Amino acid sequence: MIPMLDLKLQYAMLKSEIDAAVADVLQSTTFIMGPNVKQFEIEAANYLGVKHAISCNSGTDALHLGLRACDIGMGDEVITTSFTYAATVEAICHTGATPVFVDIDPVTFNMTAETIDAAITSKTKAILPVHIFGQVSDMQTISQVASNYKLKIIEDCAQSFGARIGTQKTGTFGDAGCFSFFPSKNLGCYGDGGLFTTNSDEIAEQFMLLKLHGSKVRNQHEIIGWNSRLDEIQAAILRIKLRNIDDFNLNRIAVAKKYSQLLNSSTIQTPSFNEDLSHVFHQFTILSKTRNKISKKLASENIGHAIFYPMPLSEQPAFSSVSRSGNLSNTQEICSQCLSLPMFPEMSDEQIEQVVDSIKHL
């Protein structure tokens, strides 16, 4: 069997460090807002190259509270993609704003400046690009559109920790960035966790208020807030993994290149490689008109795989009545053909070859 993801290998590699760090937290009995949380925020800010990195309970909270911190609310419209996980759009809806879905590029699977520009109205308040599967959106042109219309940019970086354009990393291009540390992510903890980034002192202060019950001083509450804190144990684990994230991402890229070389086929579209528009391969996602046949074959040989995502969010019952969208033909086509193959930094050449052989011998 080849799993979709194997977290045991990474834990085995870091076991002594992680076990010692967790033991230290247990000995300290400081489980909430302890020194590891503060130190992780400093280290994450330094790594990403951003002024403020504020931890929280999850990537979903980072998005929801981040939108609120950026003053997105009732009556506003937020332009985003329909080819993403539900959390992206849930966050918009929970603020009272309206998600506006635009189509995506058929190669990168990301929104483009052209599709965004065409969807802007007098109600548009923000753009929420998603760096899907670890592929960075074209942030230079998107940032120009945002500047032209004085719109905020909140980046969904849930799948793109460490991805960059040149030397600038995701989560630093817009007004804010939102990261997830769900265990399967490139930088994942052993539970839920999230991070919010911004260079704005005002936005950072508002996010801090929102995540801590609207309070700066104990038992004094300035606004109605939430409880969204990263656990000390998770922060201790993330500090260790953060020191290794570049190596993990380079290994993912090596796996992706091996896949692409072996899957060279006129009937299968593999992800594109661009040194300036970095892809850190949270997922290795192919497109094929024979997607369902490939899926059945992989399943018959106990090879993990997944379909991210089988249906545009614009067509989901939860969102179809609370959003608006234009032509999403690329999105619909990609949803009908996409298939994600096993991807983790420790994949061996033999495992990659076995996956590819299964696909080629349908």
What pLDDT digit, counting tens, does each position of 303-320 carry? 999 999 999 999 999 999
What local confidence, expressed as pLDDT, does residue 266 receive?
Answer: 86
Residue 277: predicted pLDDT:
66
- Phi first, then psi: give them for residue 125, nearest 5 degrees: -115, -25
Tokens of 326: 């234009």
* pLDDT interval class at 249 (50, 70, 90): very high
* Number of residues in the chain: 362
Enumerate the β-bridge partners of residue 90: none
Report the run of H or E that residue 7 belongs to, with start and end: helix 7-28
Question: What's the pLDDT score for residue 274?
Answer: 78
Written as six digits, the tokens of 333 are 């086509």
Q: Which two tokens stand for residue 351?
A: 């495992």
d(CA 175, CA 152): 6
Helix (H, G, I), strand (E, B) or coil at 172: coil
Residue 229 CB neighbours (<10 A): 19
What pairs with residue 99 in β-bridges?
A: 78
Question: Domain spanning 245-360: which CATH class is it, in words?
Answer: alpha beta
Mean pLDDT of 330-357: 98
CA distance 230 to 192: 8
User: Which of these CATH numbers, 3.40.50.720, 3.40.50.2000, 3.40.640.10, 3.40.50.261, describes 7-101+110-242?
Assistant: 3.40.640.10
This prediction has a pTM of 0.98
Query: In this predicted model, what pLDDT tens digit does every residue of 36-57 receive, in sequence order?
Result: 999 999 999 999 999 999 999 9
Nearest to 115 by CA among 126, 125, 128, 101: 101
Element (H, E) at 165: strand 164-165
Per-domain residue ranges of the chain: 7-101+110-242, 245-360
Task: Say how many C-beta atoms besides its own lie within 10 A of residue 275's C-beta.
Answer: 7
Amino acid, single-letter form, for residue 15: K
Q: Do domains 7-101+110-242 and 245-360 have the same CATH topology?
A: no
Please check the confidence at residue 276 and state whether its pLDDT lies above 80.
Answer: no
Residue 315 CA to residue 199 CA, distance in Å, equals 35
**What is d(CA 196, CA 339) in angstroms, rounded to the nearest whole number?**
30
**Rounded CA separation 290/310 (Å):** 14
Residues linked to residue 179 through DSSP beta bridges, in sequence order: 195
- How far apart (Å, rounded) are the C-alpha atoms in residues 253 and 344? 10
Instruction: Say if residue 105's pLDDT is above 80.
Output: yes
Pairing status of strand 215-217 against strand 194-198: unpaired
| Residues facing 324 on adjacent strands | 100
- What's the mean pLDDT when you consider all of the chain? 97
- Note the pLDDT of residue 275: 72
